[in-house]
Amino acid sequence: MTTEVQIRKHRRYLPHIRKIVACIAAKLGFSRLDLDETEEAVEAVCAGSMDRAEGIDDSLLIRLDAHDQCLTVEITDPCIDFDPLCSSPLGAEGFLSLGVPSALRFTDGVELIRGDEGTTIRLTKYANKLRPPCEVEAEVVQSRVSSASLQA
């Protein structure tokens, strides 16, 4: 199932984007945590693009592809032009302002694609994916520290 939405670059549309992402992710069986993380990543990238608009009255194209327990979201901005093969696209400041660090943190894959239509940031999130052992171990350690604090 593919859904495409074109929106103006204005933050007032972010709640609508979140709602669309949440509906599709819920249909795929995403856990509440996965759903929240996906919404956060998409919002961060959209907001970053909106913030970079600097008065340019343009729109974003958001394409959501739902597959078996996988959601791919492509956010295409016709006004951002950079080479994704460069080590620091847009400079470090520009890279950060696109919401990419949040996307890297909350999704299972981030791709930057340069094309004739502008720059696309593709986010991939799998439903109920097992987290890496290091994250689970960190939570266990945190849990033990919390338990020890309570017993002291």
12 Cβ contact list (under 8 Å, min separation 6) = none
Q: What is the pLDDT of residue 97?
A: 52
Q: Could you tell me which residue, 31 or 118, shows the higher pLDDT?
A: 31
Q: Could you tell me which residue, 134 or 111, shows the higher pLDDT?
A: 111
In order of 40, 71, 106, the CA distances from 44 in angstroms are 6, 17, 10
| Residue entry with tokens 């929240």 | 36
Q: What is the pLDDT of residue 81?
A: 60
Using a pLDDT cut of 90, give the percent of the chain over it. Answer: 40
CATH code, domain carrying 13: 3.30.565.10
> Does residue 86 contact residue 96 with C-beta atoms inside 8 Å?
no
Domain count, the chain: 1
Q: Give tens-digit pLDDT for 39-72.
A: 999 999 998 888 776 556 588 999 999 988 899 9
The range of the structural domain enclosing residue 56 comes to 2-151
Residue 119: phi, psi to the nearest 5? Answer: -105, 135
Residue 122: phi, psi to the nearest 5? Answer: -105, 125
